Amino acid sequence: MERRRLVILGSTGSVGRQTLDVVRAFPDALEVVGLCAGNNIELLKQQIDEFKPGYISSASETIDHNGARQMPAEEIVSLPEVDIVMAATVGCAGMSPVMAAIDAGKTIALANKEVIVMAGEVLMRRAAETGAKILPVDSEPSALWQCIEGEKSPPERFIITASGGAFRGRKWESLHDVSPAEALKHPTWTMGAKITIDSATLMNKAFEVIETRWMFDIPYERIDVVIHRQSIIHSMAEFADGSVKAQLGPPDMRHPIQLALFYPDRRHNDELPRFDPVKTGSLTFEEMDSSLYPCFDLALDHAKLGGTWPAALAGADEAAVYLFLDGRIRFTDIPDVVASTLASHQPVMNHSIEDAVQAAAWATDYTLAKHATGASV
């Protein structure tokens, strides 16, 4: 087989680095054509030295290129020699290169869930037009994708599992004084800061429901969420006859990353941990009490309104997480801050991608401006 030629958007982030771990394990099968990163120039330089991409994109003009051409990420993903784009950027800023890859009809491994939250319907329609393939990298949608693989009948219900995040089992009211450091301690997954905070509020779980709704074209009422503390069952699909399939594995993002890079093949990788049922001992399920997680219902209630509502939601959440990590609002302020921004949103229905990008940017700016002086919500 020829090597698959890969561009990584967000190569210095958590998923970007783990993608390069997979590339290291398969030097004969994967080739890095382009690396795109933001401000972590030191790490990007190391990655350039190691993987020798032909093209790079970064926030720095002065980076040592080591023979690589610097050009905008949108142009790199559209190059004819690119087979697959790993979209591992965090937040709403990832939309532009993802849309460029979709317009170029590429295969996109999508870890950057905010872009499908912002404009899932429009994005999937555009991908259908251009022939671009969107493959899930997020572990829950990846599990659902694996569960429905080869099935002739559509799933009747998806059951997305949720670890419950850093504060599972605690009452929301008790979280008034938690610090960013506490909220950044995820019980099962090692991930970037934004998604770890989103996991603690369960905003991330709402985003996965929205992602699932559009990626698999399944109505919201057929998507359930259940608390599963071990993060071993990554999600489940129920079929018309009541048969349920689950996808399992130790919580390690390299599993879904590798599957997306090699799909439909699966390759042996000794570096990946394996599921041992006896060592695991037991897998538990609990009802998700959404009163414990006010972000969850807030997010889905607005996502279901359609139009630019989910984009505004994603933009407001991005700002609220930033404000919390920056010490300017409390953890328990996050849903109120998001709700307050959404209350001022002027939605566009029958929206374009551009409308979604503008709505997200407006929501982020509006939220940040409101808290520029450190004013309380």
Q: Which residues bind a second copy (CB under 8 A)?
A: 146-147, 149-153, 156, 159, 226, 228, 233, 236, 238-250, 255, 258-259, 262, 264-269, 272-275, 277-278, 280-287
The SS3 call for residue 361 is helix
Min dist. Cβ of residue 335 to a second copy (A): 24
Q: 23 vs 356, which CB is nearer to a second copy?
A: 23
Residue 314, C-beta contacts closer than 8 angstroms, at least 6 positions apart: 91, 92, 114, 117, 118, 207, 360, 363
Min dist. Cβ of residue 111 to a second copy (A): 17
Q: 160 vs 175, which CB is nearer to a second copy?
A: 160
Min dist. Cβ of residue 207 to a second copy (A): 21
CA dihedral 112, 114, 120, 122 (to 10 degrees): -90
Tokens of 229: 């503390």
Min dist. Cβ of residue 251 to a second copy (A): 12
Min dist. Cβ of residue 151 to a second copy (A): 7
Q: How far is CA 308 from the centre of its chain?
A: 19
The SS3 call for residue 223 is strand
Beta strands 84-87 and 4-9, pairing class? parallel
CA distance 332 to 175: 6
Min dist. Cβ of residue 216 to a second copy (A): 15
Angle (nearest 5°) at CA 132 between 127 and 138: 85
Min dist. Cβ of residue 253 to a second copy (A): 13
- Among residues 326, 307, 330, 322, the alpha carbon closest in space to that of 364 is found at 322
State how far the alpha carbon of 23 is from the alpha carbons of 27, 74, 94, 321, in Å.
6, 22, 22, 31
Phi, psi dihedral angles at 19 (to 5 degrees): -65, -40
Tokens of 299: 């997010």
